[in-house]
Amino acid sequence: MAESAQTALSRMVVGQDRAINALSRLIDMHFAWTSAPNPLHRPPNALIIGPTGTGKTHAIKVAAEALDIPCLVVDSTRLVSTGSSATLSLDGILHLLVKRARSSKGGDAPEERAARGIIFLDEFDKLRYGKTTEDTAAVQRRLLQFIESDSVDLAPSEFDESRVVDTRGILFIAAGAFTNIDRYRDQRAVGHGWGNFIRPEDVHRYGFIEELTARLPVIIRFDPLEVDALRRILEQPDISPLAFYRAYFHSHGLILDVDDGVLTEIAVAAQRSKLGARGLHQELFPVLHDLANALIPDGSTGDLLDRTTRFTLTPTKYKQLKNGTYRHDQGFGDTPTER
């Protein structure tokens, strides 16, 4: 039985309980509408606001994979007319979503699966007008027409035939850090009953046309990740960045263990970086890069020893690796384990 979006998000997204509850409910409402469409009352689209590395894009991908619906992540800056080949048209987005739908299960045609999919507009805050020399307000108006349309007739591409995509059931989710948007919230008159929530009027004052903010009425806030949440990410094997490094060391005959105290120090350093979960890699790579240089001979492509050797990264070794004083001249002092 397929995993629900709520279950998958609860398992794979750490430190954002309130946000993933709202997101899973929004997606469920979206699905309910596509099963019985009412053109007079279309489902709402959403805007996700939160610092980098807090799981915004990750959450959308997790939910889409759990539900086996096509999901296209779009860098919003590619919508700005730069004259370069990297520029992406709105028709181009739908073409890509239809192609993505081909890998989804089920007997429906790709355009029908795409019509129930998700378009995720990442880095959406970069489209604020008045910030760049590009006419981002014009891009916002094109997006508004895109979101508001009932269907789009896609011209045939080199590898595709002409097809019509009903866009009414596509869930549009925009997301970005929206740095310092709280200042607009704080300037609002008190007594509106919304507490600390960001509202569409704040997004408008940040640099978005009112018509577009009205089409993204659901605003979901992802919070900065605290030390406890970052440590939980490290401890959870299916999402921990340590899994990558452990697999690398294991390919060279080493089992890498990390002491609890080291996990806490890594989480603290990542939290200080203000990069969220991305800060974990920033902290891990320099340390484990130097450890690999000490333990794995140059040019080694296979197992280091006849038996797999266990190496424990202790707080002392971790600090030595951080300050460049670690030496491994005594060979492997840990007890080998049988394969």
pLDDT of residue 311: 92
**DSSP code string of 105-153:** -SSS-HHHHHTT-EEEEETGGGG-TTSSSS-HHHHHHHHHHHHH-SEEE
What is the per-residue pLDDT across 175-223, written as a single tens digit (0 to 9) for each? 999 999 988 877 765 544 444 588 999 999 999 999 999 999 999 999 9
Does the structure show a pLDDT above 50 at 1? no
Q: What is the mean pLDDT of the chain?
A: 85
Global confidence as pTM:
0.85
Whole-number Å distance between alpha carbons of 281 and 17: 23
**Reduced 3-state DSSP string for 163-199:** EEEECCCCEEEEEECCCCCHHHHHCCCCCCCCCCCCC
What is the per-residue pLDDT across 51-96, written as a single tens digit (0 to 9) for each? 999 999 999 999 999 999 999 999 998 887 655 556 778 888 988 8
What is the per-residue pLDDT across 292-302, written as a single tens digit (0 to 9) for each? 998 887 755 55
Average pLDDT over residues 273-286: 94
**DSSP code string of 324-335:** T-----S---SP
Percent of the chain whose predicted confidence (pLDDT) is above 70: 84
Sign of the alpha-carbon dihedral angle for 156, 160, 165, 170: negative
pLDDT of residue 145: 87
pLDDT of residue 335: 44
Does the structure show a pLDDT above 70 at 306? no
- Cα 318 to Cα 71, 230, 241: the distances in Å are 40, 18, 17
The DSSP bridge partners found for residue 173 are 46, 120
pLDDT of residue 160: 60
pLDDT of residue 255: 93
Question: DSSP secondary-structure letter at 290?
Answer: H
Give the CA-trace dihedral at 261, 263, 266, 270, to 10 degrees: -130
pLDDT of residue 235: 96
pLDDT of residue 133: 47
Instruction: Assign 131 a pLDDT band (cuts: 50, 70, 90).
Output: low
Helix, strand, or coil (residue 234): helix
